[in-house]
Amino acid sequence: MMSSPTPAPLLPVAPLDGGGGYLRWKESVLLRLRTLDLAYVLSEHQPEDGRSDSAKKKRARDDELCRGHILATLSDRLLPDYAHHATAAAAWRALARTYDMDGKLPNLPLDRFFAYRFVDGEPVLEQLAHLEAMGVAGKLDDRTMYGLVHQKLPPALVKAIALASPPYPDPPSMDHIWDTARLEERMRLCGEIRRGEHTQDKEDDDDQGGGDYPDEDHRSPKRKRRYDRGPCYNCGEPGHIARDCRG
């Protein structure tokens, strides 16, 4: 006897408690509803003619389950405002009406895109991804987006793009910007690693001695232990060891 397939595990959904988390909530709930084969009841068009009683009963049950999943992922603050909707589609539309601002204001992504400025000290690749996402939401084609994004880039990255090799096709695309930005980021990280290694080498050299002997108050603990071992075997004087002896 064949066993029934194990249902896919459901990922947790953070409760919706305001507009700030709407997009993540929406995508998470849609993933859950599609996993459970319930998302179809959110459709506006559900013809009733010619459907069997069992099909109608199944859809009614699926609608109840879908509505329950939607309401169960609302915070205690929001639940009373949407629990009165009788169907899953009605609750879904009501939430979108409240929080889906991009749908209400089609120019909002472009307004955000044009207002965006790169911030010094923040990760360039993350900022580039954020800017590109706003351009995609504003339905900019790749060539137009390249030109507009290029105008907003930090000067150092603009210079690197101008010097980039091998040559890119004309017109260049966002891939051109991404390739150069990633290369610059790798070079920056390598530079930080080298500077860290240089600093560590310098600290190790200081710990090993060399140059004039510092006053005891300025010695590192390692050097203090070295100098406190007793008189030098070479000259008999205290304060240093034979390897560092100048006598």
Q: Compute the distance between CA of residue 130 and CA of residue 150 in angstroms, rounded to an integer.
A: 14
* Average pLDDT of every residue of the chain: 81
179-202 pLDDT per residue, tens = 999 999 998 888 888 877 666 666
The last residue of a domain, from among 89, 104, 119: 104
* Residue 10 domain-assigned (yes or no): no
* Global model pTM greater than 0.75: no
7-42 pLDDT per residue, tens = 667 888 999 999 889 999 999 999 999 999 999 999
- Identify the pLDDT of residue 216: 47
Q: Do both 185 and 146 map to the same domain?
A: yes
Let me know: does 173 contact 146? Beta carbons within 8 Å.
yes
Domain with 199, as residue range(s), is: 108-205
Q: Compute the distance between CA of residue 6 and CA of residue 204 in angstroms, rounded to an integer.
A: 58
- Identify the pLDDT of residue 233: 55
Q: How far is CA 80 from the centre of its chain?
A: 33
Q: Do both 34 and 86 map to the same domain?
A: yes
- Identify the pLDDT of residue 109: 79
- Identify the pLDDT of residue 214: 47
The residue-averaged pLDDT of 147-175 equals 83
- Identify the pLDDT of residue 200: 64
Amino acid at 221: P
The residue-averaged pLDDT of 157-172 equals 76
Q: What percent of the chain has pLDDT over 70?
A: 69
Q: Do both 93 and 114 map to the same domain?
A: no
- Identify the pLDDT of residue 227: 47
Q: Do both 85 and 143 map to the same domain?
A: no
Q: CB burial class (10 A; 0-12, 13-18, 19+) of residue 176?
A: middle
Q: Compute the distance between CA of residue 205 and CA of residue 170 in angstroms, rounded to an integer.
A: 53
The residue-averaged pLDDT of 136-159 equals 91
Bigger pLDDT: 81 vs 200: 81
Q: How confident is the model at residue 164 (pLDDT cuts 50, 70, 90)?
A: confident
Q: Do both 158 and 194 map to the same domain?
A: yes
* Residue 121 domain-assigned (yes or no): yes
Q: How many CB atoms lie within 10 A of CB 5?
A: 6
Bigger pLDDT: 111 vs 198: 111
Q: Which of 50-64, 99-113, 132-146 has the lowest mean pLDDT?
A: 99-113
Q: CB burial class (10 A; 0-12, 13-18, 19+) of residue 32?
A: buried
- Identify the pLDDT of residue 201: 60
Let me know: does 65 contact 36? Beta carbons within 8 Å.
yes
- Identify the pLDDT of residue 8: 65
Angle formed by the axes of helices 88-99 and 22-35, to 10°? 160
Q: Compute the distance between CA of residue 47 and CA of residue 56 in angstroms, rounded to an integer.
A: 10
- Identify the pLDDT of residue 59: 93
Q: In this structure, what are the phi and psi dihedrals at residue 162, rounded to the nearest 5 degrees?
A: -65, -30
- Identify the pLDDT of residue 84: 96
